[in-house]
């Protein structure tokens, strides 16, 4: 066939342009592909959410009590022994109450949590002297005050992670604000701000926090005197006062780099305010170090709380604490009979928790690597 008379080839339709994907979404997809970090994130988040339901999972108070046709909810409201026809003063022992109802077989019943022991309850009816060894009833034994170790570790997980997250939010907020101001305005503000940060960071953190947390501050009010002791929120304030400086240097450097780019100059030429430029334009492009370092900051916060509890300057008793249990275990390591579970249990839980967070941090750092999705490629 003559090529000149050949029928023209059917023109193929050009493929439709694909939907553009933002850099942030690409980073999230990359994070999900890093299985070790992604699964660690899922496990940690699931465990943290479950920890808020511990009062109905691990507790010595009944969830529901049916007595003489009426329903009571002791986990939500205090009820005395007399309300259930039991002798004694104060709140009843709901484990004994459940057994009594079963023996009476009068239609009354009590629904207890799956693990019916409280982290602050001293189990004085156990045979022998505390600490007690692990058993089927008490999975990780009891401490020196006959309190269930598994219950204290479970509640301590919620306390430790909540503490670390709150400190993270406040430190990152203050650090971002300070770093943004220093990096954007520069000049004398930057020089003066850096000198103040260097002076403040030269203070010995551990000694300062021990001194401050050990001081009892009396507050005199009309008719009474309050004593400000180391507490959850006081320790947060102290840690935030020292931890915010780390992220400040990174955000300052990011703002210095971004403010020299053309889009910032264009925004300034259009009359956009400094606050709007900092928040809407520069800050979204400066969050990589903030996100990358967040998991490792959480690790540092948990470790700091455990160290303070171990030294006796942390949360007030009887707050469930990993550090306090570790301190007990070290006291019982020497002697004729070692109480190994008091050291092994909290260290194992702490190790697994920090390991999950480190895996998350490594995956986040790799996913948010600025060289991975550079706009220049």
Q: 135 CB contacts (<8 Å, ≥6 apart)?
A: 141
Question: What pLDDT is recorded for position 300?
Answer: 93
pLDDT in tens, 335-346: 667 788 889 999
Residue 161 and residue 84 share a domain: no
DSSP 189-255: HHHHHHHHHHHHHTS-HHHHHHHHHH--EEEEETTEEEEE---HHHHHHHHHHHHTHHHHHHHHHHH
Residue 197 and residue 84 share a domain: no
Element (H, E) at 67: strand 64-67
Strand order in the sheet with 109-111: 70-72, 64-67, 109-111
CA-CA-CA-CA dihedral for 15, 19, 20, 22, to nearest 10: -150
- Whether the per-residue pLDDT at 288 is higher than 80: the answer is yes
CATH number for the domain harbouring residue 179: 1.10.3720.10
What does pLDDT average to over the chain?
86
Distance CA 366, CA 163 (A): 26
Distance CA 81, CA 174 (A): 50
pLDDT in tens, 117-166: 999 999 988 888 889 999 999 999 999 899 999 999 999 999 999 999 99
Distance CA 343, CA 328 (A): 8
64: phi then psi, degrees, rounded to nearest 5: -140, 140
Distance CA 309, CA 323 (A): 5
- Whether the per-residue pLDDT at 360 is higher than 90: the answer is yes
Residue 47 and residue 96 share a domain: no
Q: Is residue 140 part of a domain?
A: no
Distance CA 22, CA 173 (A): 25
How many residues are present in the chain?
A: 377
Question: What pLDDT is recorded for position 375?
Answer: 47
Residue 279 and residue 219 share a domain: yes
Q: Is residue 15 part of a domain?
A: no
Distance CA 291, CA 285 (A): 12
Q: Is residue 24 part of a domain?
A: no
Cα 354-153-40 angle, rounded to 5 deg? 30
Q: Is residue 317 part of a domain?
A: yes
Distance CA 106, CA 276 (A): 70
Tokens 């050949």 label which residue? 6
Residue 64 and residue 50 share a domain: no
Distance CA 290, CA 243 (A): 13
Residue that wins the pLDDT comparison between 47 and 224: 47
- Whether the per-residue pLDDT at 214 is higher than 70: the answer is no
Q: How many domains does the chain have?
A: 2
Q: Is residue 141 part of a domain?
A: no
For the ranges 87-101, 206-220, 314-328, which has the lowest average pLDDT?
206-220
Distance CA 245, CA 249 (A): 7
Distance CA 319, CA 21 (A): 47
Structure tokens at 322: 């990993």
Instruction: Find out whether the peptide bond into 342 is cis, omega within 30 degrees of 0.
Output: no
Q: Is residue 300 part of a domain?
A: yes
Question: What pLDDT is recorded for position 251?
Answer: 94
Distance CA 235, CA 302 (A): 12
Q: Is residue 168 part of a domain?
A: yes
Q: Is residue 314 part of a domain?
A: yes
Question: What pLDDT is recorded for position 228?
Answer: 55
Residue 304 and residue 283 share a domain: yes
Residue 350 and residue 276 share a domain: yes
- Whether the per-residue pLDDT at 19 is higher than 70: the answer is no
Residue 319 and residue 255 share a domain: yes
Q: Domain range spanning residue 81?
A: 60-111
For the ranges 108-122, 203-217, 230-244, 346-360, which has the lowest average pLDDT?
203-217
Share above pLDDT 70 across residues of the chain, in percent, rounded to a whole number = 87
Residue 153 and residue 257 share a domain: yes
Q: For residues 307 and 323, is the Cβ–Cβ distance under 8 A? A: yes
Residue 196 and residue 279 share a domain: yes
Residue 194 and residue 71 share a domain: no
Question: What pLDDT is recorded for position 196?
Answer: 93
Residue that wins the pLDDT comparison between 58 and 372: 58
Residue 183 and residue 86 share a domain: no
């Amino acid at each position: 066939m003559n090529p000149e008379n050949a029928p023209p080839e059917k023109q193929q339709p050009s493929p439709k342009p694909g939907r553009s994907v933002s850099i942030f979404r690409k980073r999230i997809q990359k994070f999900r592909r890093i299985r070790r970090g992604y699964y660690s994130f899922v496990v940690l988040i699931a465990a943290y959410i479950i920890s808020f339901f511990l009062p109905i999972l691990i507790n010595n108070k009944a969830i529901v009590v049916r007595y003489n046709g009426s329903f009571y909810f002791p986990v939500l409201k205090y009820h005395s022994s007399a309300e259930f026809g039991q002798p004694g003063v104060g709140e009843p022992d709901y484990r004994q109450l459940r057994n009594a109802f079963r023996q009476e077989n009068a239609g009354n019943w009590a629904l207890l949590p799956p693990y019916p022991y409280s982290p602050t309850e001293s189990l004085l009816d156990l045979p022998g002297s505390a600490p007690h060894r692990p058993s089927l009833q008490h999975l990780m034994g009891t401490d020196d005050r006959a309190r269930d170790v598994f219950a204290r570790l479970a509640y301590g997980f919620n306390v430790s992670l909540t503490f670390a997250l709150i400190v993270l939010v406040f430190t990152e907020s203050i650090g971002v604000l300070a770093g943004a101001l220093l990096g954007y305005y520069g000049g004398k503000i930057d020089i003066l701000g850096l000198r103040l940060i260097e002076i403040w960071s030269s203070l010995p953190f551990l000694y300062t926090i021990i001194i401050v947390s050990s001081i009892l501050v009396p507050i005199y009010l009309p008719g009474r005197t309050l004593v400000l002791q180391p507490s959850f929120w006081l320790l947060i304030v102290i840690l935030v006062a020292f931890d915010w400086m780390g992220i400040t240097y990174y955000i300052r450097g990011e703002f210095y780099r971004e403010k020299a780019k053309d889009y910032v100059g264009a925004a300034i030429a259009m009359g956009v305010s400094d606050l709007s430029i900092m928040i809407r334009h520069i800050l979204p492009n400066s969050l990589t170090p903030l996100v990358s370092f967040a998991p490792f900051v959480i690790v540092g916060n948990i470790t700091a709380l455990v160290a303070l509890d171990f030294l006796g300057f942390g949360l007030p008793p009887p707050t469930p604490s990993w550090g306090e249990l570790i301190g007990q275990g070290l006291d019982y390591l020497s002697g004729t009979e070692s109480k190994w579970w008091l050291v092994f249990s909290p260290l194992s839980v702490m190790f697994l928790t920090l390991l999950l967070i480190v895996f998350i941090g490594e995956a986040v750092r790799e996913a948010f690597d600025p060289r991975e999705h550079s706009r220049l490629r």
